[in-house]
Amino acid sequence: MIKPLAVLNKSINQQVIVELKGKRGYRGILDGYDPHMNLVLKNAEETHENQVVRKLETTIVRGDNVIYISP
Amino acid sequence: MIKPLAVLNKSINQQVIVELKGKRGYRGILDGYDPHMNLVLKNAEETHENQVVRKLETTIVRGDNVIYISP
Amino acid sequence: MIKPLAVLNKSINQQVIVELKGKRGYRGILDGYDPHMNLVLKNAEETHENQVVRKLETTIVRGDNVIYISP
Amino acid sequence: MIKPLAVLNKSINQQVIVELKGKRGYRGILDGYDPHMNLVLKNAEETHENQVVRKLETTIVRGDNVIYISP
Amino acid sequence: MIKPLAVLNKSINQQVIVELKGKRGYRGILDGYDPHMNLVLKNAEETHENQVVRKLETTIVRGDNVIYISP
Amino acid sequence: MIKPLAVLNKSINQQVIVELKGKRGYRGILDGYDPHMNLVLKNAEETHENQVVRKLETTIVRGDNVIYISP
Amino acid sequence: MIKPLAVLNKSINQQVIVELKGKRGYRGILDGYDPHMNLVLKNAEETHENQVVRKLETTIVRGDNVIYISP
């Protein structure tokens, strides 16, 4: 048994996939998070329906749009 | 009488089906949860209208999109 | 005068009808609940526009999708 | 000056009309409520665009779908 | 400088216009409120796109649908 | 560095533009606010897609519909 | 590991890109924030589908519409 935030903690400095509402997604290195699942990603790619639409050096993704986070 | 979180607790290490808003679903081994019903799934399959669309070794599913969880 | 949660409490081990947002419904034996109206149903049938679409031995229904619960 | 919950309290055992989001409504005897405006109705009729679609002996209506309650 | 709830307080026993999400509105005498902006209106008219569709002697309008309240 | 509520505080008695969800906007003199960003506007004009649709002497705008406020 | 709010703090007086729900975006100098991710932007440009639609000297953007903030 592992808490969801503990999985985030173990994923720091690793590549994660983040899927948001509205067909939007991010791939990047997890650099931080808080208990609301707000995330800091580094070297992130934003995807829309699996197409890369943007590259972002650092980005804060708000947790309440998140559907899943996959390390 | 059993509390919803106690059902989750009894389902740790077992296969669960999770149905989310927006016709999205997950099947996988329940590896963790928290009081917001955020879930950790292992060996998960993501489904869309009952078609498998993705396989995810580990995934954190945010609780506020959940409609039901079925052990 | 009776509190909503007291009605749930009196309905434990009885058949209830649960209507959710999005034309989805459940019929089953109420096995548990919590103050957020998260529910545990046993021997549940999921309905969509009054058609049975699935049978679920045990299911946790998240309270924030509930429109009404009827014992 | 009267608080909204005090109006509910005065309406116990009286006929109320409840209008929900999504064109759904209820008419019934108010049997209980809580501070979230979750309601217990007895001898309720569910209406959809002013047509009676269902009769429910007892029903718990979740407060966060309520638009107005009229004694 | 005046707090929003203080404006409501000064409007007790006066005619107010309440605009809700979904093109719905109310005109009536403000008889009460609480900190969530749940309102009690007397002699209220419900409007839909500026047409009067219903008259309600007393009505509790749930605050979370409110867009604006105008004394 | 300035907190958002401090910007509101400095804008009291000044003209502000408020943009809400659903293409609705307000222009008026900021007369008050609270920590939820509920606002009191005086001599307000309501706009819909930049057309003035209504004039309101005093209006309480509920904070949770606000997209931005611009002094 | 860095907390999301710490990234905001480090971005004070720097150019940020803010993406909101509903295809709306802002570019501007971050002048402030609070724990809800309400933001104060200076010399902001509002964009809609990447077209500049408005310039705003100072603007308070409400946090609950934010999808991501990128320094």
- pLDDT attached to residue D49: 84
3-state secondary structure of B63: helix
| Amino acid, res. E61 | V
Mean pLDDT of chain F: 96
Kindly give, in sequence order, each residue whose CB lies less than 8 Å from that of residue A37, ignoring residues fewer than 6 positions away: A8, A63, A64, A66, A69, B38, B60, B62
Distance CA D56, CA C65 (A): 19
Which of G4, G67, G68 comes nearest A34 by C-beta? G4
pLDDT (tens, 9 = 90+) of chain G, 71 residues, equals 999 999 999 999 999 999 999 889 999 999 999 999 999 999 999 999 889 999 999 999 999 999 999 99
pLDDT (tens, 9 = 90+) of chain D, 71 residues, equals 999 999 999 999 999 999 999 889 999 999 999 999 999 999 999 999 889 999 999 999 999 999 999 99
Answer whether C58's CB lies under 8 Å from C28's CB.
no
Distance CA C23, CA C12 (A): 24
| Amino acid, res. G17 | I
What is the DSSP annotation of F18-64? EEESTTEEEEEEEEEE-TT--EEEEEEEEEETTEEEEEEEEEEEPGG
Kindly give, in sequence order, each residue whose CB lies less than 8 Å from that of residue A34, ignoring residues fewer than 6 positions away: A63, G3, G4, G5
| pLDDT at position C49 over 90 | no
Q: Pick the residue with more confidence: E65 or E49?
A: E65
Distance CA G24, CA E12 (A): 38
Predicted TM-score (pTM) of this structure: 0.93
Answer whether E49's CB lies under 8 Å from F2's CB.
no
Phi-psi region of E40 (alpha: psi -120 to 50; beta: other; left: phi over 0): beta
Q: What is the CA radius of gyration of chain C?
A: 11
Q: Which is nearest to G30 in space by CA: F35, F8, A34, F2?
A: F2
Which of D3, D63, D69 comes nearest E32 by C-beta? D3
Note whether D64 contacts E61, CB cutoff 8 Å: no
Distance CA C7, CA D32 (A): 9
- pLDDT attached to residue F50: 82
- pLDDT attached to residue D50: 81
Sorting pLDDT into bands at 50, 70 and 90, what band is B50? confident
Write down which chains contact chain B via at least 3 CB pairs under 8 A.
Answer: A, C
Question: Domains in chain A and their CATH numbers?
Answer: 4-70 (2.30.30.100)
- pLDDT attached to residue F49: 84
Note whether E7 contacts F60, CB cutoff 8 Å: yes
- pLDDT attached to residue E30: 98
| pLDDT at position E59 over 90 | yes
- Mean of pLDDT values over F42-63: 94
| pLDDT at position C50 over 90 | no
- Mean of pLDDT values over F18-43: 96
- pLDDT attached to residue C6: 98
Q: Does D3 contact E at CB distance below 8 Å?
A: yes
Note whether F32 contacts E71, CB cutoff 8 Å: no
- pLDDT attached to residue D24: 93
| pLDDT at position E28 over 90 | yes
Note whether D67 contacts E34, CB cutoff 8 Å: no
Contacts with A5 from chain B: Cβ below 8 Å: 34
- Mean of pLDDT values over A16-21: 96
- Mean of pLDDT values over F20-39: 96
